[in-house]
Structure 1
Amino acid sequence: MSSSSDASQNETWIVQKYGGTSVGKQLPTIAQHIAPSYLSNPNVRLAIVCSARSGQTKALGTTNLLLQAAKEALQPEDENDTASPIESSSLSNSFSNLRDSSNATANGTFSRLARSASRGAAGLGTGSPLPTSKRAESPATLNSALDSKLKSLTMENSASNGAPIATGYNATVDRIMHDHIVAVREAVTKNVEARERLEHEIVDDCERLRDFLMAAKIIEEISPKSQDIIMSIGERLSCRIVVGALLDVGIDAELVGMETVIDANFLEELQSKRARLDVSSTSQGEEYLDQAFYDLLSVKMADRLRAVKGVPVVTGFFGHVPGSLLSQVGRGYTDLCAALCAVGLQAAELQIWKEVDGVFTADPRKVSTARLIDAITPEEAAELTYYGSEVIHPFTMEQAIKKAVPIRIKNVENPEGSGTVIFPPASSSKDPEKLMGAFLKQPKTPGSTSGTTTPWGSMSMTSSAITAVMGEPKELRRPTAVTIKEDIWILNVHSNRKTLSHGFFARIFTTLDKHGVIVDLISTSEVHVSMALHGGQAGLKRGRVVDRLKSELSLLGEVSIVKDMTILSLVGSHMRNMVGVSGKMFNTLAEGNINIEMISQGANEINISCVIHQKNALKALNMIHYSVLEGSTKMPNAEAGNFGRAFF
């Protein structure tokens, strides 16, 4: 007993989160190289959290297909459409009718699909009731039937024999099922038993989805919580494929669903905890997601993961939270789930695996000299995320950093790379060695000579964040990164009074809040207010909303909107102590003959932003990176690199 307890205390947990495109395109790398490299250390326990699988692009990913299916379920049926939801010859109908009817005699019951068959639903695409002779088929016959149906299924839902075909949400569910079964067969080639079991489970999951959508169609409603359930099926399907890929290479793995972690006992324990902390549990009639909620949730998640013998593969969906998970957290809730798992397990590291090497000083697709940043602070990462550089959801980051769990962003296409670490500098802690984990040795990634084996706090001294930690006076301090956020509108309100009244700003922001408009930047003078708004937000996509917004604000003064603008942001944790950085930034833009429409600096003093015309965005980004971040004393040759004649 004591030996197992000692072993668990010596375990080092590492939580890895993979996005949908990583699962879709890089699953062999994950299963055959990344996971085994970490598990080669006997003291390491690995937990994997997966998003819903995507193909080549997110637009064609499972999540978007699920949202499409939900939308289709609420659409009225076309009167000219002869294929009803029950009559459609869907992929799962064909396969499940065979499988379910073969078990009917033993179980004494039929599933909905078997009952549909008795009412005339399709068998193997014939549109006729299932023959009695098909009711005692072997597993080989069942798989053969599925193989045949997979081959005949097309995304255009065409049929040459005139049989009824799947339409609407049924066709979308068939496509989801087809994609995942094909993915399982590509990922699991050795373990035939596991592959067949996973295929059956995928069919079952998709059939439950179909039942759910049919119920939504009948009641003509999909509530926020129902949408959560629909979205969660994508992650479960993705996790099944990852489990199969790991089993195929001999790694013991198990799917762990977190959808039931929030139950009656959880809520009762949460209320007791809030009572002890004297924290109110209601906000506008609903329980809100406070820190006590997340602290308890992380503990419950960790208990489930520790009970798994092999590698737990975790669904990002973690139950029916008050107010719906999508509306409270958004589509980044899988990252949040990974962070809570890491916090509860007291993991040595939370790894977010993407298709990029980490965080760069600028977008490397737009700035050829952009370099990888070894380490950044959470504040810098939050600013970069907000102003256009996709790093990690700020709330997800907050949960991990608050409990001293380092976050490392790594590239699934380059596992040997060191990535970027998000963690506070040691100077912010009373015990910097403990906080930074200075003596922690991480397992090696495949072929890595540095990578995650580098101890915390001993990385390359080229990073400004590490420079501050180590206190090296010889290193020249510079901002950390520069980023741009495009599709920006400037909303100007010029007061019709000589001085602003105390209610002027209140009326402006009340009007913006009424129409759901979010402000990125604001700049004011005595009688003038300028606000930078992202044109892609929902509140500005509808022309009527914009017209009403202008009409209501015109009661306060003259209103104008300028489109096709870009926010250029310079971010760095040391900028609050740097003299002349803003002057150099604006002088550089002036040398490039770039006009500045608006200037704003954040209250935390680690961000300086300005608004420029969108046509000058790429030129400004390169100029600022070259002059301010690289520290060049003069601009490059007008004919060289990114500063050719097109820019001047």
Structure 2
Amino acid sequence: MEFPIVRREREAVEKKFGEDSGANGVIEDRIPHTQEKEIAGGANWVVQKFGGTSVGKFPTNIAEDIVLAGLNPPHNQRIAVVCSARSTGTKAEGTTNRLLRAARDVEAGSWNFANIVQTLRNDHLESLKVHFPTASVSSEQQQEISTRYEGDVNAVCDHLLKVLESALFLKDVTSQTMDMVMSVGEKLSCLYMTALLQTRGLSAVYVDLSEAIEPSSQLGLKGLNEQFYRDLATLFGEKVQEAVGDDEKCVPVITGYFGRVPPPGLLDQIGRGYTDLCAALVSVGLRARELQIWKEVDGIFTADPRKVPTARLLPSVTPSEAAELTFYGSEVIHPFTMDQVIRAGIPVRIKNVMNPRNAGTVILPERDESGELGGKKRPGVFRNRSVSNLIGEAKGPKRPTAVTIKPNITVLNVHSKKRTRAHGFLMSIFSTLDRHGLSVDLISSSEVHVSMALHSEYALLSGSGPDELSIESESLQNAVNDLTQTGLGCDVDLVPSMAIISLVGRQLRSMVGISGRFFSTLGENGINIEMISQGASEINISCVIEEREANRALNVVHTNLFTFLE
């Protein structure tokens, strides 16, 4: 039985895009296949990056349904695999968080880190044994693979213990030590995946990039600039080619951790997204035809399908749309990581490890004004914003691309008691926030008043009512003190438990009246708007609403602007 709202949405999609708008809500004809072929070029490498949950929960899918299937006809691809640290349960119990806890134990002077390392050792050793009954190799080969794997895992864990013991003795966990500790997660994960692929009869080789940047190397001495990443991509490509040699069927399994970078280290400079960045740099170094990011969802949807039942899978999005969606709550791919491959003209595809036959969502490089792929727009001072020109630009679907929610928002309102120039007022506020490490997601301002949306994974405020609220974050408390008690002399108030709802789409600037429809849809459904902001890129319209209304807002906006908007 098809529910009326689903049937109306399907019929609306088919009317708009034709009968080829496929099953499962996928708009099939949005990607020009000629463009994909043009982007792909002659290289036959495909780099596949797997997240920790995929490696931990669906290793057989990866080995048999994805890697093996890609190597065999009709694909006949050369596959390179990049793995994050394994996670078989919740993210809190994943390998990376366990390693972080081990480092914190060292900082606290506790020997409990030894128990954590032993647990990781046992977990990774036992995890391979469950796959032997379905192996495609002889019992002798299984024993050989098992012995080698056990030796490698023990060597990595023994070295980790020595690093942590040294840090405990010195009573100092440096950024370099932290990087070495964090690298163990990717090493163990890649050793596991290499051995698993070998039990399936595949030629697979473990590639450890943690020593790729030699101590005497000049890489990064001038900072982590574009030249550094270009050189790093070339280096990674050479390391992988050297590891596989002439064996075109050999699958390199590459650690996401790539070693020494200038202080304060890899984790501090790049963050926990370094595995995605490594996959991107390997793609550039190998001149791959595609970078695939494998997750536990089919791709990018018009809204979160867990919250909006009628959300549709998008076959393609632009890099700018993907960047906005990532920033405003959808876990797509970090914009900096994406930029590395897009500038090289390599498409990024988001796919589902549980549904590998689905085409997923591809992020295609945009064309510049000369028609080149992956190019940038020519800078200009003036733009024509006449209504006639905007209407003329509207060649694509008359719908936004997606709507997304970013929770855990606190609104900071600052009102100046003094008459001051707007630029001086704003400069004082932002320098204060920067000094205390607070970043702003949205801003709405006038000459003497500014409202800012602050996001944090941890509670900035606590308490149940306006009179009972207290500031939990030391950084926020210090910033409020500076704004109210120093020469700025501002009135400050905080609004907790808010969320950002964002409408994203490259076509937004050519959709006359879309802002009005967006805001009126919220208003007509009794959802109050705290503040409004539109990005300079003109592909994003955002507003702040109460967090308790977030899911309802997501559904009413999707129904009115994606289902019935004509």
**TM-score, normalising length: structure 2:** 0.82
- Tell me how far 1:547 sits from its aligned partner: 2.6
The size of the alignment, in residue pairs, is 484
Q: Does 1:400 align with 2:378?
A: no
The aligned counterpart of 1:76 is 109
The aligned counterpart of 2:167 is 216
Deviations 1:347-378 (A, max 9, x none): 01000000010001001111110010110001
Q: Supply the AA of the counterpart residue of 1:22.
A: S
The aligned counterpart of 1:132 is none
Q: Which secondary structure does the structure 2 equivalent of 1:250 belong to?
A: coil
The aligned counterpart of 2:130 is 186
Deviations 1:409-452 (A, max 9, x none): 000000011100011345755246x99xxxxxxxxxxxxxxxxx
Task: Identify the match of residue 554 of structure 2 among 618, 621, 641.
Answer: 621
The aligned counterpart of 2:401 is 480
Distance 1:476 1:291, change over 3 A: closer
Task: Identify the match of residue 480 of structure 2 among 544, 547, 550.
Answer: 550
Task: Identify the match of residue 313 of structure 2 among 365, 372, 396.
Answer: 372
Task: Identify the match of residue 320 of structure 1 among 237, 244, 260.
Answer: 260
Q: Which secondary structure does the structure 1 equivalent of 2:209 belong to?
A: coil
The aligned counterpart of 1:386 is 327
Does the aligned pair in 2 maintain the 1:261–1:318 contact within 8 Å? yes
Distance 1:36 1:580, change over 3 A: same
Deviations 1:580-617 (A, max 9, x none): 10010011011101111100000101000001111211
Give the whole-Å Cα distance in 1 for the aligned partners of 2:301 and 2:370: 26
Structure 1 unaligned residues grouped into runs of 5+: 1-8, 78-166, 271-280, 436-467, 634-648
**TM-score, normalising length: structure 1:** 0.72
Give the whole-Å Cα distance in 1 for the aligned partners of 2:356 and 2:65: 9
Structure 2 unaligned residues grouped into runs of 5+: 1-40, 136-141, 376-389, 462-470
Distance 1:219 1:584, change over 3 A: same
Give the whole-Å Cα distance in 1 for the aligned partners of 2:185 and 2:530: 44
Give the whole-Å Cα distance in 1 for the aligned partners of 2:459 and 2:273: 18
Task: Identify the match of residue 150 of structure 2 among 199, 219, 222.
Answer: 199
Q: Supply the AA of the counterpart residue of 2:122.
A: H
Task: Report matched runs for 1:197-596 at 5 Å.
Answer: 197-264=148-215, 266-267=217-218, 270=219, 287-307=222-242, 308=244, 309=247, 310-323=250-263, 324-426=265-367, 430-431=371-372, 473=395, 476-500=397-421, 502-536=423-457, 542-554=472-484, 555-596=488-529
Distance 1:510 1:236, change over 3 A: same
Distance 1:303 1:533, change over 3 A: same
The aligned counterpart of 2:60 is 28
Q: Supply the AA of the counterpart residue of 1:353.
A: W
Deviations 1:559-582 (A, max 9, x none): 101101111100001111210100
Q: Supply the AA of the counterpart residue of 2:538.
A: E
Does the aligned pair in 1 maintain the 2:422–2:446 contact within 8 Å? no
**Which structure would you say has the larger RCO, counting Cα contacts within 8 Å and 6 or more residues apart?**
2
- Tell me how far 1:266 sits from its aligned partner: 3.9
Q: Which secondary structure does the structure 2 equivalent of 1:338 belong to?
A: helix
Give the whole-Å Cα distance in 2 for the aligned partners of 1:427 and 1:10: 22
Distance 1:535 1:296, change over 3 A: closer
Distance 1:543 1:256, change over 3 A: closer
- Tell me how far 1:72 sits from its aligned partner: 1.1
The aligned counterpart of 2:69 is 37
Give the whole-Å Cα distance in 2 for the aligned partners of 1:289 and 1:602: 27
- Tell me how far 1:485 sits from its aligned partner: 0.7
Q: Which secondary structure does the structure 2 equivalent of 1:259 belong to?
A: helix
The aligned counterpart of 2:87 is 54
Does the aligned pair in 1 maintain the 2:410–2:460 contact within 8 Å? no
Q: Supply the AA of the counterpart residue of 2:232.
A: L
Q: Supply the AA of the counterpart residue of 1:504.
A: F
Does the aligned pair in 2 maintain the 1:187–1:244 contact within 8 Å? no
Deviations 1:246-268 (A, max 9, x none): 1001100000011121125642x
Give the whole-Å Cα distance in 1 for the aligned partners of 2:450 and 2:394: 42
Does the aligned pair in 2 maintain the 1:351–1:409 contact within 8 Å? yes
Give the whole-Å Cα distance in 2 for the aligned partners of 1:431 and 1:329: 30
Q: Which secondary structure does the structure 2 equivalent of 1:603 belong to?
A: coil
Q: Over aligned residue pairs, what C-alpha RMSD do you find?
A: 2.2
Does the aligned pair in 1 maintain the 2:350–2:361 contact within 8 Å? yes
Give the whole-Å Cα distance in 1 for the aligned partners of 2:400 and 2:255: 38
- Tell me how far 1:188 sits from its aligned partner: 4.1
Does the aligned pair in 2 maintain the 1:187–1:241 contact within 8 Å? no
Does the aligned pair in 2 maintain the 1:567–1:612 contact within 8 Å? yes
Q: Supply the AA of the counterpart residue of 1:251.
A: L
Percent of counterpart pairs with the same letter? 48
Deviations 1:206-225 (A, max 9, x none): 11111111111000111111
Q: Which secondary structure does the structure 2 equivalent of 1:484 belong to?
A: strand
- Tell me how far 1:546 sits from its aligned partner: 2.8
- Tell me how far 1:197 sits from its aligned partner: 1.4
Does the aligned pair in 2 maintain the 1:184–1:199 contact within 8 Å? no
